[in-house]
Structure 1
Amino acid sequence: MDPLVRVAHEDGTAVLTLDSPHNRNALSTRLVTELYAALEAAAGDTQVRAVLLTHTGGTFCAGADLGEAVHSAPADAARGLARLLRTIVELPKPVLAAVSGHVRAGGLGLLAACDVSAAGPQSTFAFTEARLGLAPAVISLPVLTRMEPRAAARYYLSGERFDAETAARTGLITLAGEPGRALEPVLAGIRRSSPQGLAESKALTTAAVLRAFDRDAERLAELSARLFGSAQAREGMTAFLERRDPEWAR
């Protein structure tokens, strides 16, 4: 099978491209497994100075693969996502994201885990979990450490879409603008920095996020599993897949 995460190397940067457009780069078990493996490989490659996460298609990541979630073990998926996000945060090399499409739910966790992210004017963002009978549980580990609290409360509760300017202003992403151009000076600076300097500097900026993982990861994984297994979530996910309103929205 063709990989769901394509790997390329450009001038000391490992470019990891989410390439599962048939389900809008949803976080299927296979995609999560491939992305984790690619990150681990980049961490051990002495030629790699930084990792750049990007995508094909009009969606960077749609969050959980709901078609798979209806039939899978929710606890395994929640812990797998927590492991992936922590890997991004702990990686001893900067992880950047270049987004030129839409981001929903779990995809926002990927962005919050990255050290630097840029999104273009065509990008939109939404925490859609509450509309499905769920909550942004595991992704809160990086998101609530990065994002302005009032903004997080509004968008967690309403599920509203917001644009890249709002995402940058509230701390969810770093830069709003054409992502390739916006990230050029960041990557140029990284290439001039030593591996030791990068690793230790990143550790300073991610310490609070890692404390959140140490304190809350298991509790939030259990919450996610409980919600995914609930009757309301089954109705919400089924309604989404059937393109209808859930019973509580009628």
Structure 2
Amino acid sequence: MTTTAPLVRRDTDRGIAVLTLDSPHNRNALSAALVGELIAALDTAAGEDGVRAVLLTHTGTTFSAGADLKADGPERGPVVLVELMRQIAELPKPVVARAAGHVRAGGLGLLAACDISVAGESATFAFSESRLGLAPAVASVPVLVRGDERAAARWFLTGETFGTAEAVRIGLVTAPEDALDGILAGLRAASPQGLAATKELTVAPLLRRLAADGPDLAARSARLFASAEAAEGVRALLERRQPPWAL
């Protein structure tokens, strides 16, 4: 009998449920399997009286590379991401993300959906979709709700890579990684009721936008993935060559 290693590992550290994305072979891609385990772990943390907040972190050099197209296909990936972002927003306990490596595509949606996020000096960020014939459709929801829309237009359109200082400046990331201990200490000092009630206020705009636009954006993303241009863009990426439209 063979057993499959978990894709999300769980520990507890003084009232903080630490959930670790542990699928480095595919750069912690948001497959339906990984997201299912993550949602289950979040549900467990929500029901535990001793847990004050959740810390979402990762193994390997990448926090998350976004959807797992090989495992789930173009239709399922965007829907899975909408489900996960809604789960995080509705959780009655704060979710803090720690990115110590690269964050790409849908992984940026996951990062922005968390209530608080920190990133290390070696972290890099890129909305690479436009270079592949795609768009950051679903990931744009929390990014545009919580961040600088004018700056997001540049990074969405150009696909350039940027670092932690810029991610903090535009609101994609809350603070550098060295702020993490103070953030967790503050959450440990807060009352469970106070945290839940306060989070309801901070996530209300995100939940409204997810309800209004999430399904349509997931469908738009699937249509783009199914196009000939996107197929060529993904092929070029996998073959490590420039797509034909690159000048």
TM tier, smaller: over 0.9
Tell whether 2:40 aligns with 1:43.
no
Paired residues for 1:78-227 under 5 Å: 78-176=78-176, 179=177, 181-227=178-224
Kindly, what percent of the aligned residue pairs are identical? 61
Counterpart of 2:17 in 1: which secondary structure?
Answer: strand
Letter in 2 for 1:200: A
**Candidates 2, 9, 19, aligned match of 1:6:** 9
Tell me which moved more, 164-173 or 36-45: 36-45
Deviation string for 1:85-105 (max 9, x for gaps)? Answer: 111111110000111111111
Tell whether 2:58 aligns with 1:55.
yes
CA contact (8 A) 2:85 2:113 kept: yes
Aligned length: 244
**Candidates 228, 239, 242, aligned match of 2:236:** 239
Alignment RMSD (CA, Å): 1.2
Deviation string for 1:67-100 (max 9, x for gaps)? Answer: 335xx2x332221110101111111100001111
Deviation of 1:18 (Å) = 0.7
Report the TM-score when normalising by structure 2: 0.95
Tell me which moved more, 21-30 or 145-154: 21-30
Distance in 2, matches of 1:208 and 1:28, equals: 26
Counterpart of 1:7 in 2: which secondary structure?
Answer: strand
Tell me which moved more, 187-196 or 155-164: 187-196
Distance in 2, matches of 1:241 and 1:68, equals: 15
Unaligned 5+ residue runs, structure 2?
A: none
Distance in 1, matches of 2:41 and 2:227, equals: 33
Deviation of 1:249 (Å) = 2.0
CA contact (8 A) 2:67 2:78 kept: no
CA contact (8 A) 2:81 2:110 kept: no
Deviation of 1:12 (Å) = 0.7
Give every structure 1 segment of 4 or more consecutive aligned residues whose post-TM-superposition deviation is greater than 4 Å.
Answer: none
Distance in 2, matches of 1:2 and 1:34, equals: 11
Deviation of 1:128 (Å) = 0.5
Distance in 1, matches of 2:36 and 2:235, equals: 25
CA contact (8 A) 2:68 2:77 kept: no
Unaligned 5+ residue runs, structure 1?
A: none
Counterpart of 1:248 in 2: which secondary structure?
Answer: coil
Letter in 1 for 2:58: H
Distance in 2, matches of 1:94 and 1:215, equals: 23
